[in-house]
Amino acid sequence: MKKENEMTSVSRRKVIGLLGMGALAVQFPMSCSQAKPKSKDLKTQLFYLTIQEIGELIRTKEISSVELTTIMLNRITAIDAKLNSYITVMKEYALSTAKILDDELSNGKYRGPMHGIPIALKDLFYTEGVTTTGGTIVSSLVPEYDATVTSRLKKVGAIIIGKLSMSEGAYLAHHPKFKVPKNPWDKSRYTGVSSSGSGVAVAAGLCFGSLATDTGGSIRYPSSANGVVGLKPTFGRVSRYGVLPLALSMDHVGPMTRSVADAAIMFEAIAGADPNDQVTLRESVPSITSKLDGTIKGVRIGFDRKYSTENVEPQVVEATLAVIDVLVSLGAEIIDVEMPEVGQIVDTWVKIGNREASKIHSKTYPSRSEDYGEGFKWVIESGLKVTELEFAEANKERSRIAEEFLTMLSNIDAFVCPVMWCAPGVYSAAEVLGGFRPVDPSPLLNDVFAKPADFSGSPSLTVPCGFSKNGAPIGIQFIGNHLDEEMICRIGYAYEQNTEWHKKHPTL
Q: DSSP letters along 286-343, please?
A: P--GGG--S--TT-EEEE-HHHHHTTS-HHHHHHHHHHHHHHHHTT-EEEE--PPP--
Distance, first Cα to last Cα, the chain: 44
Which pLDDT value is given to residue 380?
96
Q: How many CB atoms lie within 10 A of CB 295?
A: 14
φ/ψ bin of 317: left (φ > 0), alpha (ψ from -120 to 50), beta (otherwise): alpha
- 3-state DSSP helix/strand/coil % of the chain, to nearest 5: 40, 15, 45
Q: Would you give the DSSP letter of residue 501? A: G
Q: DSSP letters along 451-478, please?
A: HHHHHHT--EEEEEEEE-TTS-EEEEEE
Q: Is residue 312 part of a domain?
A: yes
What three-state secondary structure class fits 130?
strand
| Interacting residues of 387 by C-beta distance below 8 A, sequence separation 6+ | none
Which pLDDT value is given to residue 34?
45
What three-state secondary structure class fits 463?
strand
Which pLDDT value is given to residue 172?
87
**Quick one: which of 372, 365, 358, 361 has its CA closest to 174?**
372
The mean pLDDT value of the chain amounts to: 91
- Position 405, amino acid: F
Of 11, 64, 122, 139, the active-site residue reads 122
Is-catalytic flag, 179?
A: no
Q: Is residue 268 part of a domain?
A: yes
Of 64, 218, 224, 259, the active-site residue reads 218
Euclidean distance between CA atoms 24 and 62, whole angstroms: 48
Euclidean distance between CA atoms 357 and 405, whole angstroms: 25
For residue 506, give Cα distances in angstroms to 154, 226, 273.
29, 9, 38
**Biggest distance spanned by C-alpha atoms of the chain:** 64
**Quick one: which of 230, 215, 421 has its CA closest to 312?**
421
Helix axis angle, 345-360 to 374-384, nearest 10°:
100
**Angle formed at CA 446 by CA 442 and CA 448, multiple of 5 degrees:** 130
Cβ contact 458:471 at 8 Å: no
- Position 172, amino acid: L
**DSSP-derived pairing of the beta strands 118-122 and 300-303:** unpaired
Is-catalytic flag, 122?
A: yes
For 174, phi then psi, to 5°, come to: -80, 140
Please count the structural domains in the chain.
1
Whether omega before 239 lies within 30 degrees of 0, making that bond cis, reads no
Q: How many CB atoms lie within 10 A of CB 24?
A: 10
CA-only gyration radius of the chain, Å: 21
| Interacting residues of 60 by C-beta distance below 8 A, sequence separation 6+ | none
Which pLDDT value is given to residue 138?
87
Q: Is residue 26 part of a domain?
A: no
Bridge partners, residue 252, by sequence: 214
Helix axis angle, 91-106 to 65-79, nearest 10°:
160
Q: Is residue 417 part of a domain?
A: yes
Residue 244: burial class (beta carbons within 10 Å; 0-12, 13-18, 19+): buried
- Position 179, amino acid: K
Q: Is residue 23 part of a domain?
A: no
Q: Is residue 15 part of a domain?
A: no
Q: Is residue 6 part of a domain?
A: no
The number of angstroms, rounded, from the C-alpha of 316 to the middle of its chain's C-alpha atoms is 20
Euclidean distance between CA atoms 99 and 84, whole angstroms: 27
Of 64, 85, 194, 468, the active-site residue reads 194
Q: Is residue 466 part of a domain?
A: yes
**Quick one: which of 407, 490, 491, 482 has its CA closest to 8?**
482
DSSP H or E segment with residue 230: strand 229-232
Segment-wise mean pLDDT, segments of 10 residues, the chain, 508 residues = 46 65 48 48 75 97 97 97 98 99 98 99 98 91 98 99 98 92 94 96 99 98 98 99 98 99 99 98 97 98 97 95 99 98 92 97 96 93 97 98 98 98 67 41 66 98 98 98 99 98 96
Domain hosting 63: range is 38-503
Q: Would you give the DSSP letter of residue 64? A: -
Euclidean distance between CA atoms 247 and 380, whole angstroms: 12
In the sheet with 414-418, reading across from the earlier edge strand, the strands are 86-89, 159-164, 118-122, 210-214, 252-257, 229-232, 460-467, 473-480, 414-418, 300-303, 333-336
What three-state secondary structure class fits 350?
helix
| Interacting residues of 67 by C-beta distance below 8 A, sequence separation 6+ | none
Whichever domain contains 280, its CATH number is 3.90.1300.10
